Amino acid sequence: MDLNLAVLIDGDNIPSAYVKEMMEEIAKYGNPTIKRIYGDWTNPRLGKWKNVLLENAITPIQQYGYTQGKNATDSAMIIDAMDILYSGKVNGFCIVSSDSDFTRLATRLREAGMQVFGIGERKTPNPFIVACDKFIYIEILKSRSEEESSDTPNKTSSEKNTVDKITPKALRFIATTIDDVADDDGWAFLGDVGSLLQKKQPNFDSRNYGFQKLTPLINSIPHFEIERREDSKGRKKLIYVKIKEKSTSKSKK
């Protein structure tokens, strides 16, 4: 069943340059039936947003900064989120912000059975990231947009800076997750591996490492081997992965 999503954007905390790419990303996970952006629209700093709101059918919500140093936008978003939650009109939320102040909101929405997606910059504090079911870095969307619009296949230096290296820590994380769902012969269905990676670490995304999908990411790591098997009806290939040299073993658990 397709999710009906409420998309709530912190206009004070998110750059406006890649709204189109952001909305296309959100559409992968559900139908954005409510789309609101919060900020003080009398502030010239938010002027760049105004040009893209109509194009993407995003409703601007005016929120004055009543007190210096206090973020009234956060409070307005939280109040609206709870109103939407109790309206019963959606079964998921997308909170677009890099602000840790939304950590408790994300947790509360999940407690109510909502799917919660987060989108923010890499500077987003970890508590907010792990409070979401899935968290997407906006820099990934920027890199993809720039790559698609570029006439040359080579990545720019700014794009390279947005790609994470597969560190030993990341390698151990993937290997442990494969081991968690592997059968007695060490093979794990890649779909199950991807789901568990997401549950363990909501900001895990193959695009963080420069790959659009999990399969080519796994295939690029020599520690793993991939096997394609036909399903019982022979209609499609199922992808399984195995650790070539397992650092952990189920027999040792």
Within-domain flag for 232: yes
DSSP per-residue codes, 193-247: HHHHHHHH-TT--GGGGT-SSHHHHHHT-TTEEEEEEE-TTSSSEEEEEEESS-S
Residues 126 and 205 in one domain: no
Say whether both 145 and 25 belong to one domain.
yes
Q: Residues 13, 15, 57, CA angle at the centre, nearest 5°?
A: 100
Residue 78: partners with Cβ closer than 8 Å, 6 or more residues away: 102, 105
Same domain, 125 and 222: no
Q: Tell me the residue range of the domain where 182 lies.
A: 168-248
Residues 188 and 142 both lie in one domain = no
Which pLDDT band holds residue 230 (cuts at 50, 70, 90)? confident
Instruction: With respect to residue 159, please indicate whether it lies within any of the assigned structural domains.
Output: no
Q: 209 with 87, same domain? A: no
Residues 110 and 200 in one domain: no
Phi, psi of 243 (to 5 degrees): -85, 125
pLDDT at 174: 94
Number of structural domains in the chain: 2
Cα–Cα distance for residue pair 99/103, rounded to 1 Å: 8
Let me know whether 103 and 48 are in one domain. yes
pLDDT at position 47 is 81
Query: Is 20 in the same domain as 53?
Result: yes
Q: What is the CATH number of the domain that holds 100?
A: 3.40.50.1010
| Domain shared by 242 and 138, yes or no | no
Using one digit for the tens of pLDDT, what is the confidence trace for 8-54? 999 888 888 888 899 999 999 999 999 999 988 888 877 888 778 88
Dihedral angle sign, alpha carbons of residues 200, 111, 74, 23: positive
108 burial class (0-12, 13-18, 19+ CB within 10 angstroms)? middle
